[in-house]
Amino acid sequence: MTQSSIHESETRPLVLVIDDSIDVHRLLQARLRSEPLELVQATSGEAGLELARDRTPAIVLLDLDMPEMDGFEVLRALKDDPRTLHLPVIVLSGLQSPHDKVTAFDLGAVDYVTKPFDLTELKVRVRSALRVHQLLDMLAKRAQVDGLTGLYNRAHFDQRWPEAIATAKRHGRPLSIAMLDVDHFKSINDTYGHPAGDAVLQEVAEIVQNSSRASDIACRYGGEEFVIVMPDTSPEEAQVLCDRIRTTLEQTNWLKHPERTVTCCLGVAGCDGGEGPDSDEWLSKADQALYRAKTTGRNRVETTRLDGPQLAQTA
């Protein structure tokens, strides 16, 4: 598996326009139609902030002069929120005073375009901001990829797991997490050597990746442990996916040691309605389920429901 295999299929970058003027939205929609991007629109600061948190756009085009919540307040809120802190913001404003421009840049804007704007110039500025965003995004992703397996690494998990819980609780959606541990991994290294152990980890990673959906977050947690974050997934659905991973690994034939069957244990913790403990306790419940799988025979899936009766286990 290569590092690029973890990334989502290429899509057009998302550009969020926050402006109270419907005419501006129509103009941008018409004039930017030929650009390789997708526009999403908000007509108020509050709606724009919600979209920025939910959709994570590549850049934001922000009007300053809006009722109720003006652009300065929106910009300040974007930069105060860890989820949107790094979003590049281009200000589109009829305010032309040096003070307004200085304030916008001090609050974190990357560019300032005054209205009425020249559309050709705006296109160039948007393209430039998108190029910078794509380069920084590529560097950030590479820093969060495990070099051996091509899955995301522990640093990426530590960032995304609290975000997944916050999203599930905010919208009342199901969420499950699974921890996976390769059974008797040390004996594989001791018997066949570390290259064989590395091959096992790479194959496990490929099975996990192929079994997961595009919305799932599969990471190498450390050593022979992996973790899978499954948004919009009930504990029952997560258990089915994990048992598919378990059986696929059990049935894998190994060219360099065909006599050896490799198995794994998985511990799942999840709930249906977005309620549940904080990120550390939730992860601890999954780890406890994994421990039960290890101590009750291995090659098992143990599942903990956080909001109801426990599920039947699989082995």
Instruction: Round to whole Å and give the CA distance between 248 and 267.
Output: 17
Active site residue 236: no
The DSSP-derived string for 127-139 is HHHHHHHHHHHHH
pLDDT of residue 8: 39
Which whole number is the average pLDDT over 249-253?
96
217-222, strands of its sheet edge to edge: 217-222, 225-231, 175-182, 264-271, 301-305
Which whole number is the average pLDDT over 73-91?
93
Which candidate, 65, 70, 54, places its Cα nearest to that of 24?
65
Helix, strand, or coil (residue 63): strand
**Residue 35 CB contacts under 8 Å (≥ 6 apart), including other chains:** 123, 126, 127
Helix (H) or strand (E) holding 112: strand 111-114
Pairing of strands 175-182, 14-18: unpaired
Q: Is the per-residue pLDDT at 308 higher than 90?
A: no
Instruction: Round to whole Å and give the CA distance between 267 and 22.
Output: 50
- The reply to whether 154-305 shares the fold of 3-143 is no
Task: Record the tokens describing residue 61, joined without a space.
Answer: 């085009």
Using 50, 70 and 90 to split pLDDT, how confident is the model at 292? Answer: very high
Label each residue of 267-282 as H, E or C: EEEEECCCCCCCHHHH
Task: Convert the pLDDT of each residue in 3-49 to its tens digit.
Answer: 333 343 347 899 999 999 999 999 999 988 889 999 999 999 999 99
Using 50, 70 and 90 to split pLDDT, how confident is the model at 1? Answer: very low
Pairing of strands 217-222, 264-271: unpaired
Task: Convert the pLDDT of each residue in 223-233 to its tens digit.
Answer: 999 999 999 99
Instruction: Round to whole Å and give the CA distance between 93 and 113.
Output: 6
Which candidate, 81, 46, 80, 74, places its Cα nearest to that of 60?
74
CATH of domain 3-143: 3.40.50.2300
Catalytic residue among 206, 224, 275, 281: 224
Partnered with residue 39 across adjacent β-strands are: 15
Task: Convert the pLDDT of each residue in 161-214 to its tens digit.
Answer: 999 999 999 999 999 999 999 999 999 999 999 999 999 999 999 999 999 999
Whether the pTM exceeds 0.75: the reply is: no
Q: Is the per-residue pLDDT at 160 higher than 50?
A: yes
CATH of domain 154-305: 3.30.70.270
Residue 164 φ/ψ, nearest 5 degrees: -65, -40
Average pLDDT for the chain: 90
* Half-sphere exposure in the Cβ direction for 286 (13 Å, CA): 31
Instruction: Round to whole Å and give the CA distance between 26 and 153.
Output: 42
Residue given tokens 């997708």 in the structure block: 38
CA dihedral 123, 129, 131, 137 (to 10 degrees): -150
Using 50, 70 and 90 to split pLDDT, how confident is the model at 69? Answer: very high
Q: What percent of the chain has pLDDT over 70?
A: 94
Sign of CA dihedral 34, 35, 37, 43: negative
Task: Record the tokens describing residue 134, joined without a space.
Answer: 């794509």
Label each residue of 8-36 as H, E or C: CCCCCCEEEEECCCHHHHHHHHHHCCCCC
Q: Is the per-residue pLDDT at 2 higher than 50?
A: no
Task: Record the tokens describing residue 309, joined without a space.
Answer: 């009766």
Residue extents of the structural domains in the chain = 3-143, 154-305
pLDDT of residue 134: 87
